[in-house]
Amino acid sequence: MSYALVHYPNINIKYIQQIRQKYDPQFGLIEPHITLVFPIIESINENDLIMHTHSILSKWKTFPISLKGLQKSWDKYLFLMVEEGKVDIIKLHNELYTDILAKCCRNNIPFIPHLTLGVFTKDTDDFLQVFKEAQALDLNYRCVVDKLHLINIADGQRSIIWSKEFILRN
Domain limits, the chain: 2-167
Helix ranges (H only) for the chain are: 14-23, 46-57, 86-96, 124-136
Q: How far apart are CA 159 and CA 30, in angstroms?
A: 8
- The confidence band for 123, taking pLDDT boundaries of 50, 70 and 90, is low
- The confidence band for 122, taking pLDDT boundaries of 50, 70 and 90, is confident
Q: Bridge-partner residues for 71, per DSSP?
A: 79
Domain 2-167 carries which CATH code?
3.90.1140.10
pLDDT above 80 (res 125): no
Q: Which residue has the higher pLDDT, 159 or 148?
A: 148
For residue 133, how far is the Cα from the chain centroid?
22
Supply the pTM of this predicted model: 0.94
Distances in Å between the alpha carbon of 156 and those of 2, 30, 104?
A: 9, 14, 18
Q: What is the pLDDT of residue 160?
A: 92
Considering only CA atoms, which of 106, 114, 149 is closest in space to residue 4? 149
